[in-house]
Amino acid sequence: MATTAELEAMRHALSLARRGPRGVNPQVGAVLLSPAGDVLAEGWHRGAGTAHAEVDALSKLAEGEARGATAIVTLEPCNHIGRTGPCAVALLDAGVERVVYAIADPNVPAAGGAERLRAAGVEVEGGVLADDARTLLDGWLAVQRLRRPHVTVKWAQSLDGRAAAADGTSRWITGPAAREDVHRRRAQADAIVVGTGTLLADDPALTARRPDGSLYDAQPIPVVLGARAIPDDAAVRQHPKSVLHRSGENLGGESPNAPSLLEELRELGVQRVFVEGGPTIASAFLRADLVDEVLVYVAPTLLGSGTEGRDRPALRYLGVDTIASQRRLDVASVTPLGPDLLVVAHPAAEGVV
């Protein structure tokens, strides 16, 4: 069982981990305690290719100073040679006698550090403040589980399922409270995806903004899908991050390139993708079964169809040709946002979105 000093050190290690960047590698913090429970050193991981948290902490001590110490780490010490050596070996070489970690490493090539330490006679305890660590590493853990970034698809619609009026105008279906919620969620994402149709129709900045118009500190990478060019004066050109423009080829057909896009984003360190549409892009991700969360902002308004059947539905073809193949969702919550409703849903238990 973890001591009071170890619990306090783990909380501090979690705060240290948050200083590191969110990306390909996990955010990890470490604290080294003396046998008396005093802090000897601390460290955190600063990104791919830099020292891991344990090694960062050890580097601040003189040779032999860590002998008999306890290492408090937010993630199980790694057991593989990547750009850096195994942290489990570094701890052994330093003479650490006890290791306390929050959660096991789900990355198979890196896992096994706890077992290696125990085999060498080090006392090891896992699961300390595990829930807090999972919350911190939620996005990274999702990537390890899914082998791709976590995908949220969002759209706004009228009560009768329309995303825009017959002429294509869609500003604004929902009210200020709903739009504020969208921007807050954008700030939690690493990339935001739209099609050129939406870009050309609405000219979105694709930034995450506070109600006063100022930018959140965290901004998603703007990703634009479609063969049409992005105008030089488009609002997205002023985004603080460079636009990633991909053709979007086949997104409307039977073989969407959504998987290859997600693989590219994963290699860039993206953990959470926020797909804002429009209907063609959202439908492509849904059709490919690449959606983990659906956000639907429903406004109490009716748009109907235009003359000559000019409809602007919230979604397009999903591969549902018969009621037996409908894509069911499990609703997680329904939240009022001013006059609007936000419905949050996830893939149904049978694995169909």
Which residues are known catalytic residues?
54
Spell 104-133 as b/e; 16+ CB within 10 A means b: ebbbeebebbbebbeeeebebeeebbeeeb
Decide: 126 and 76 in contact? Cβ < 8 Å.
Answer: yes
Decide: 206 and 192 in contact? Cβ < 8 Å.
Answer: yes
CA 65, 68, 70, 71 torsion-angle sign: positive
CA 92, CA 76: separation in Å to the nearest integer? Answer: 14
